[in-house]
Amino acid sequence: MSENGRPRGRLRSLIDDRRLGRSMLVQLEGFLDGFSPPFVVLVGLLLLALIGLVDAVTGKFAVAVFYLVPIGLVTYARGRWVGTIMAATAASAFLSVELSTGVTHFEQAVTYWNWLTRFYVYEAIVILIAPMRDVVRWEREVSAREAEAAEQLRALNELRAALESDEEGRVTRVETVYGLLQAKAQAEIAAAVRD
């Protein structure tokens, strides 16, 4: 640790929240852009089915938090509306596990209440994650526009420098020609005076 309480070196770059969060989102977006959107949804559904199977097999272990992974993945890759469908699917998968293991039954009102509360929690995650994707894409577009503007500015600066150096060269040539003309005129005057 340094004097100001911040970690040094490599550890600092890993712990720095601003860099960590942004780099992870950019890496996730880059990774997900390598796959087609239907493939990401399919992987999300398969992951959801696997989590549902693990939930049914483990019984009393609380695995509800793992349902957030495919919801977040699909929401980040496809957007809010597909994420909402995934949240409803995850809540339904959780409900089917509860029904198949005998935790609740169709006749009980708590079954539907549980589905609704899980859906709302999952939808809250969708509402939180969906704007992140838009912000990362917006930042990438702004960054590309800034890079393009910087390149154009660099080209304009090079052009200006070239024009200024050319103008200075012209001025120098004009001054030289003027000096030569003055020297010639003085030589002619001196020659005329001598004669």
What is the per-residue pLDDT across 81-127, written as a single tens digit (0 to 9) for each? 999 999 999 988 888 888 887 777 777 888 888 889 989 999 999 99
pLDDT in tens, 55-84: 888 876 777 788 888 998 888 888 889 999
Q: 49 near 96, Cβ under 8 Å?
A: no
Listed residue (46, 53, 92, 97) closest to 69, CA to CA: 46
Q: 74 near 82, Cβ under 8 Å?
A: yes
Which token pair is 119? Answer: 């859906």
CA 123 vs CA 99, 120, 138, 140, 156: distances in Å: 22, 5, 23, 26, 50
* Stronger pLDDT, 128 or 143, i.e. the higher one: 128
Q: 132 near 76, Cβ under 8 Å?
A: yes
